[in-house]
Amino acid sequence: MNPTLSNGQGGAFAPHQALAEALLPHATSGDDGSHDIAHLQRVWSNAAAILAQEGGNADIVAAATLLHDCVSVEKNDPLRAQASRLAAHKAEGVLRALRWEDARIAAVAHAIEAHSFSAGIVPETLEARILQDADRLDAIGMVGVARCFYVAGRMGSALYDPTDPEAAFRPLDDKRFAIDHFENKLFKLAAGFQTAAGTRLAELRQARLRRFLDEFLDEI
pLDDT of residue 58: 97
Number of compact structural domains in the chain: 2
**Residue 217 clears pLDDT 90, i.e. is over it:** yes
Residue where one domain finishes, among candidates 94, 125, 156: 125
Distance, in Å, from the CA atom of 29 to the CA atom of 205, rounded to the nearest integer, reads 28
Q: What is the pLDDT of residues 92-107, one digit of tens each?
A: 999 999 999 999 999 9
Based on the domain organization, do 152 and 51 belong to the same domain? no
In a domain, 131, yes or no: no
Q: Which residues of 143-169 are buried (b: 16+ CB within 10 A; e: fewer)?
A: bbbebbbebbeeeebeebbeeeeebee
In a domain, 133, yes or no: no
For residue 134, give the 3-state DSSP assignment: helix
Based on the domain organization, do 24 and 78 belong to the same domain? yes
Q: What is the pLDDT of residues 95-149, one digit of tens each?
A: 999 999 999 999 999 999 999 877 788 999 999 999 999 999 999 999 999 999 9
In contact, 41 and 9? CB cutoff 8 Å: yes
Q: What CATH number should be reported for the domain holding residue 177?
A: 1.10.3210.50
Percentage of the chain exceeding pLDDT 70:
92
Residue where one domain finishes, among candidates 125, 148, 174: 125
Based on the domain organization, do 89 and 47 belong to the same domain? yes
Distance, in Å, from the CA atom of 213 to the CA atom of 182, rounded to the nearest integer, reads 8
Could you list the residue range(s) of the whole structural domain that residue 218 is in? 139-220
For the full predicted model, state whether its pTM sits above 0.75: yes
**Span 49-53, mean pLDDT?**
97
Kindly report the length of the chain: 220
Based on the domain organization, do 106 and 201 belong to the same domain? no
